[in-house]
Amino acid sequence: MKRLHRPGSGTILAAITLFYLVGFFVIFINTFDGASGLDYRLFLVLFGAVGLLLFQYGVLISFFPGMDRAALLAANFLCAVGMVALYRISPDTAVKQLIWMAAGMVAMVASMLLIRYGRHWPNLHWLYIIGSFGLLSLSLLSGSTSFGANLSFEIAGFAFQPSEFVKFVLVMGLGALFYQRKGWITVLLAGGYVGGCLILLVVSKDLGAALLYGGTAICMLYAGTGNKLLVGSALGAVGAGSVAAYHLFSHVRVRIALWKNPWAMYEGQGYQVVQGLIAIASGGLLGLGLTKGMPMAIPVRQSDYIFAVICEEFGWIIGICLVSFYLIFIVRGAIIAMGARNSFDALVAIGCVAMVTLQSFINIGGVIKLIPLTGITLPFVSYGGSSMISCFIILGILEGIAVKNADADELEFAEAFAEEENEYDSREEIWNEENYFDVQRADDGQATDGLKRRSERNRRVSERRNRR
Amino acid sequence: MRSVRKSIKVLLWTFVAMFVTLSAYLGYTVTVNGARWFISPHNPRLGQQQQNVIAGSILDRNHVVLAKSTQPGERQYHPDEIMRKATSHTVGDPSGVAATGVESFHAQYLLGFNVNVFERLYQGIVMQKRVGDSVVLTLDSALTDYAYRKLGSNAGAIVVMNWQTGEILCSTSAPAYDPANMEQYQNGANSLESNLVNRVTMGRYTPGSVFKTVTLSAVVKYRPDLLQKTYSCAGHYEVGEGVITCAGNARHGEQTVQKAYDNSCNIAFAQMARDLGRELLIKMAQEYGFNQEFLFEDFVIFQSKYTAGDRDLDFAWSSIGQYLDLATPLEICMVAATVANGGVMMEPQLVKSIVNARNYEKDKLHSKILKRALESDMAQMVKDAMISVVKEGTGKSGAISGLTVGGKTGSAEVSDDKTQKTHAWFHGFIDSDKSPLAIAVIIEQGGSGGSVAAPIARDVLKKAVALGY
């Protein structure tokens, strides 16, 4: 693993800060009227968000130089776009989102530390399995219904959505199972685990999550076993399950019909799909301009349909930018996974990446009618406490593995250094003895020799890395 | 560990491919369908924008003003009532009740949604109010007015296009509405609702014998050997459980393919269709655009349908444009235009250019080939057959002295028991590079195509030539 050159992460940081400033400035000049005076919430959200960003970048990175800056910044850019869009829809929501972002950051740091310093994660598979089932049945048993699905329930006034937290538990669980490599037992356990989760999700009508978990599990199965036959049969099982679900559940049929022609069902459930498409079409390439659109016409604009809101006012070109930033996140995540020192870390990292990838794909694809719509949030962008915190935990897990990788790099580097140093020291002693009397000459020689020695060592270290 | 890394690489590429697809699809779908989504009556942005922007004008190809605004929220139409009605379906109405007119379909230009950043800044700084772009149509208002008057009190439609470029020069539909006095149509008197339908693009009629041009093309394209064959017409022909007859129970006797087409002999065509088979006829109809969803850039057109039917009798009737066949007048016009243009179907164009507030012309018309339906030698054969119809067949009254005109008549049965008069159809073209015009005329329950529709087509084409097209 080569130490990667990190070009321009400072530039991205500046760009995100600038995005916040310009975004809030545009909202300010377009909404300001003398009568109601200054809105303190604007400054609260602006300075809060920029503060969090700079804190992450400045403080965290100086404590953990091994953190992956690009992934962190990509996530922050996504948060920034979401924050500006949310503030434009409703300042109060943005204030709440700021709180969730701060909470998410705390969760990120905590999970990063736990991953970095915890040693028993690969052995806790029963904990993950029982935890996932527990969380999912919780939402099934006492969940409140929203948009036809049992998703969340309230604790102390906060809507808590357990399926969001099952995301990373599932990734850890599958990582642990595949890490232990017990042949068929692993496959059966993993199959039962994922199958059980999916059944619970389908029964609670959370189709988006079912699709997401199933997809992620297949990605991890592929990474963990590399067995194409297994992956093929898993895909087949998912396909058969989808067909069965289509015939068994009327809400699945409705989703498919909506995907085929939402316009025909406008009076019924086609409403949100149609309004989403109209919003994107109204924005065009460059958008109507911040505050110039009509996001209030779009249903579920704060969570599932925030992509349509963004496309309407910023243009679909920014929609593609958003997709590109997900790509940056994905590529960095995959690099972290490839740099991992053991397969548990690698599997967990790629699982996290798969989770974010599929979630954003399912959300955006559903909004633009590439695939049927399933209620699912856009990671890092949508409003939602559970969603925000679980996304940051996923980021934290990735960063924890990145830090672990960097520390291992450091250690290997030091070892290699020490080895070379020993080798060299013995030669140096001989050399010094020979030239004991001519101090001046020895100094000159040492200086040039020092340079040579360093470059030689670097070459060997990098060779060793490439071999591995 | 090594295998895990390899799998991760594969997954990474899969993810990248997924996201590239996502971006590409987003760009594609907005570019292709965006205008249609945008003009939806469910879009609340349009009504809001009307109050904030001085909407652009709608002009005909000679810059005759058909609709204009002097301040936000207000709209004026052409001062002459007949002209307003003649162009009503093409232009549309201020509140988008007849939702497929230019007023709604090109609202993104008229209401200034399609203005770029610099233009927007310029308007914000220099002008007091934002101004939308004007839309210049390919339509000639004088010709359209003339055609509308020709329809008289009949229900029907006339469309004229340039078969070389696809420009629509005349498109009119009766009964029409008056965009300046919409109240009477909005208050839902049922008899007035059909006034709002643009029969040229949304009227789906039984094509009757004009469909024989499609059947003939299928013979020319797939079974040229049948051209040597003669069919016999004894006034009635038994197929399956029923009988095919010719119009007026005529007996045509021995008929070559050309003769059968000249005389519009149903019986010969039913036998020809039997020789062709369902598949080839369906294929040809689709080549001409039947059963196809046309997503034209400039306007919305309903789908024309060809259904072969399972029973032999149904198939026989379908081959002569009856049974469940449905076609819009524009589609029928496009078939004639394709034949005239050597088998190449041009995309119909309605917008000549967009002119912005500073009189800068952008998005100028560029002709687009939709598809090639026939090879040029085959098209030449069909063209000769159509010219022969006007010279010595049922379409004699479509002839114009000094010009070579080709065409085909149709008298479509709309009732099983012949209690209602037939729809009178004519589609045709002028075979001249100087006046490359194609036309389709339908008069609802007007009677025979040869005696009712063909003379109207002749007069409209004459007028068009006189106007210099």
- Residues of chain B with Cβ-Cβ distance to A468 below 8 Å are none
Using CB atoms within 10 Å of the CB of residue A114, give its burial: 0 to 12 exposed, 13 to 18 middle, 19+ buried.
Answer: middle
Exposure string for A33-54, b = 16+ CB within 10 A, e = fewer: eeeeeeeebbeebbebbbebbe
- CB atoms A226 and B8 under 8 Å: no
- Chain A residue with CA closest to B10: the answer is A223
Distance CA B347, CA A459 (A): 65
Task: Sort strands B344-346 and B369-372 into parallel, antiparallel or unpaired.
Answer: antiparallel
CA distance to partner chain B, nearest, from residue A294 (Å): 7
- CB atoms A223 and B11 under 8 Å: yes
pLDDT for A357: 95
- Residues of chain A with Cβ-Cβ distance to B99 below 8 Å are none
Exposure string for B138-147, b = 16+ CB within 10 A, e = fewer: bbbbbbbbbb
- Residues of chain B with Cβ-Cβ distance to A289 below 8 Å are 120
Least confident of A165-169, B52-56, B142-146, B185-189: B185-189
**3-class SS of residue B370:** strand
CA distance to partner chain A, nearest, from residue B30 (Å): 6
pLDDT confidence of A463, banded at 50, 70, 90?
low
**Residues 6 or more apart from B95 whose CB is under 8 A from it?**
B182, B186
**Six-digit token string for B96:** 């988008």
How many residues are given for chain A? 468
Mean pLDDT over all residues of chain A? 84
For residues A83 and A302, is the Cβ–Cβ distance under 8 A?
Answer: no
pLDDT for B110: 85
SS3 content of chain A, % helix, strand, coil (to 5): 80, 5, 20
CA distance to partner chain A, nearest, from residue B182 (Å): 26
Of A319, A337, A369, the CB nearest to B8: A337
pLDDT for A182: 77
Distance CA A395, CA A401 (A): 10
- Residues of chain A with Cβ-Cβ distance to B19 below 8 Å are 323, 326-327, 330, 357, 361
Element (H, E) at A158: strand A158-160
Helix and strand tally (H, E) in chain A? 17, 3
The one-letter code for the residue type at A233 is S
Exposure string for B442-454, b = 16+ CB within 10 A, e = fewer: bbbbbebbbebbb
Q: Would the pLDDT of A351 be above 90?
A: yes
Q: Would the pLDDT of A468 be above 50?
A: no
Instruction: State the number of CA atoms in the 13 A half-sphere of A359 facing the CB.
Output: 28
**Six-digit token string for B371:** 């598809």
The one-letter code for the residue type at A153 is F
Angle at A41 between CA A39 and CA A44, to 5 degrees: 125
Task: Sort strands B230-233 and B253-256 into parallel, antiparallel or unpaired.
Answer: antiparallel
- Chain A residue with CA closest to B9: the answer is A334
Mean pLDDT over all residues of chain B? 86
Instruction: Output the 3-class SS for B391-456.
Output: HHCCCHHHCCCCCCEEEEEEEECCCCCCCCCCEEEEEEEECCCCCCEEEEEEECCCCCHHHHHHHH
pLDDT for B23: 95
Whether B34 has its CB under 8 Å from any CB of chain A: the answer is yes
- CB atoms A294 and B45 under 8 Å: yes
Distance CA B100, CA B302 (A): 11
Q: Of all residues in chain B, what percent carry a pLDDT higher than 90?
A: 28
The residue-averaged pLDDT of A348-364 equals: 95
Residue the block writes with tokens 């079912």: A210
For residue B445, is it left (φ>0), alpha (ψ between -120 and 50) or beta? left
pLDDT confidence of A233, banded at 50, 70, 90?
very high
- CB atoms B19 and A330 under 8 Å: yes
- CB atoms A368 and B25 under 8 Å: yes
pLDDT for B53: 81
**Residues 6 or more apart from B391 whose CB is under 8 A from it?**
B399
Nearest to B439 by CA among B393, B404, B403, B408: B408
pLDDT confidence of A434, banded at 50, 70, 90?
low
**Six-digit token string for A6:** 């990190």
What is the end-to-end Cα distance of chain B in Å, rounded?
A: 75
Q: Would the pLDDT of A443 be above 70?
A: no
Nearest to B163 by CA among B402, B379, B364, B389: B379
**Residues 6 or more apart from A17 whose CB is under 8 A from it?**
A50, A53, A54
The residue-averaged pLDDT of B36-47 equals: 79
Least confident of A248-262, B41-55, B80-94: B41-55
pLDDT for A84: 94
pLDDT, one tens digit per residue, over A289-345 is: 888 888 888 888 888 899 999 999 999 999 999 999 999 999 999 999 999 989 999
Most confident of A396-400, B27-31, B100-104: A396-400
pLDDT confidence of A442, banded at 50, 70, 90?
very low
pLDDT confidence of A452, banded at 50, 70, 90?
low
CB contact residues (below 8 A), chain B span 101-120, against chain A: 108, 113-114, 116-117, 120
- CB atoms B30 and A357 under 8 Å: no
Query: Hey, which residues does B238 pair with through a beta bridge?
Result: B243
CA distance to partner chain B, nearest, from residue A397 (Å): 17
- Residues of chain A with Cβ-Cβ distance to B116 below 8 Å are 286
pLDDT, one tens digit per residue, over B153-162 is: 888 999 999 9
Whether B38 has its CB under 8 Å from any CB of chain A: the answer is yes
- Residues of chain B with Cβ-Cβ distance to A330 below 8 Å are 12, 15-16, 19
**Six-digit token string for B271:** 């036998």
pLDDT for A466: 56
Distance CA B67, CA B55 (A): 10
pTM: 0.71
CA distance to partner chain B, nearest, from residue A266 (Å): 9
Q: Would the pLDDT of A156 be above 60?
A: no
- CB atoms A226 and B40 under 8 Å: no
Q: What is the maximum alpha-carbon separation in chain A?
A: 99
CA distance to partner chain B, nearest, from residue A346 (Å): 8
Least confident of A394-408, B166-180, B233-247, B308-322: B233-247
Distance CA B162, CA B368 (A): 13
Residue the block writes with tokens 């006012």: A313
DSSP-assigned letters across all residues of B259-276: HHHHHT-HHHHHHHHHHH
Interface probe with A: pick from B22, B33, B106, B303, most Cβ of A within 10 Å: B22
Instruction: State the number of CA atoms in the 13 A half-sphere of A249 facing the CB.
Output: 19
The one-letter code for the residue type at A76 is N
Nearest to B148 by CA among B467, B463, B450, B395: B463
pLDDT for B39: 78
Interface probe with B: pick from A316, A317, A465, most Cβ of B within 10 Å: A316
**Is the interface score ipTM higher than 0.90?**
no
Instruction: State the number of CA atoms in the 13 A half-sphere of B380 facing the CB.
Output: 3
Q: Would the pLDDT of A465 be above 60?
A: no
The residue-averaged pLDDT of A241-254 equals: 85
For residues B198 and B89, is the Cβ–Cβ distance under 8 A?
Answer: yes
Nearest to A206 by CA among A8, A393, A359: A359
Q: Would the pLDDT of A439 be above 50?
A: no
pLDDT confidence of A212, banded at 50, 70, 90?
very high
- Residues of chain A with Cβ-Cβ distance to B27 below 8 Å are 316, 320
Of B3, B22, B113, the CB nearest to A364: B22
- Chain A residue with CA closest to B37: the answer is A278
Of A263, A277, A323, the CB nearest to B19: A323
For residues B434 and B403, is the Cβ–Cβ distance under 8 A?
Answer: no
pLDDT, one tens digit per residue, over B222-272 is: 988 888 888 888 878 888 778 888 877 788 888 888 888 888 888 888 888
For residues B171 and B329, is the Cβ–Cβ distance under 8 A?
Answer: no
Element (H, E) at B158: strand B156-162
- Chain A residue with CA closest to B118: the answer is A286
- Chain B residue with CA closest to A227: the answer is B7
- CB atoms B25 and A370 under 8 Å: yes
Distance CA B259, CA B256 (A): 5
Residue the block writes with tokens 């935890």: A131
Comparing A146 with B453, the larger pLDDT belongs to B453
Of A282, A288, A361, the CB nearest to B22: A361
Of A286, A289, A368, the CB nearest to B29: A368
For residues B76 and B84, is the Cβ–Cβ distance under 8 A?
Answer: no
**Six-digit token string for B1:** 């560990």
Q: Would the pLDDT of B125 be above 70?
A: no
Interface probe with A: pick from B6, B10, B15, B123, most Cβ of A within 10 Å: B15
Of A282, A289, A331, the CB nearest to B43: A282
Whether B30 has its CB under 8 Å from any CB of chain A: the answer is yes
For residues A67 and A335, is the Cβ–Cβ distance under 8 A?
Answer: no
pLDDT confidence of A1, banded at 50, 70, 90?
very low
Distance CA A150, CA A146 (A): 6
**Six-digit token string for A50:** 């920029």
Residue A247: alpha-carbon gap to chain centroid: 34
- CB atoms B108 and A354 under 8 Å: no
Nearest-10 Cα torsion for A76, A82, A85, A90: -110
The residue-averaged pLDDT of A427-455 equals: 54
pLDDT confidence of A440, banded at 50, 70, 90?
very low
- Chain B residue with CA closest to A321: the answer is B23
pLDDT, one tens digit per residue, over A81-111 is: 999 999 999 888 999 999 999 999 999 999 9
How many residues are given for chain B? 469
For residues A290 and A313, is the Cβ–Cβ distance under 8 A?
Answer: yes
Comparing A5 with A246, the larger pLDDT belongs to A246
Distance CA A193, CA A211 (A): 15
The residue-averaged pLDDT of A26-40 equals: 79
Whether B51 has its CB under 8 Å from any CB of chain A: the answer is no
pLDDT confidence of A2, banded at 50, 70, 90?
very low
For residues B76 and B69, is the Cβ–Cβ distance under 8 A?
Answer: yes
CA distance to partner chain B, nearest, from residue A335 (Å): 9
**3-class SS of residue B243:** strand
pLDDT for A403: 93
CA distance to partner chain A, nearest, from residue B97 (Å): 17
Nearest to A308 by CA among A255, A387, A268, A365: A365
Of B4, B22, B114, the CB nearest to A370: B22
pLDDT, one tens digit per residue, over B370-415 is: 889 888 999 998 999 999 999 888 888 888 888 889 999 988 888 7
Distance CA A87, CA A28 (A): 11
**3-class SS of residue A346:** helix
Residue B304 carries which DSSP code?
P
Comparing A20 with A454, the larger pLDDT belongs to A20
Chain A to chain B Cβ contacts (< 8 Å): 124
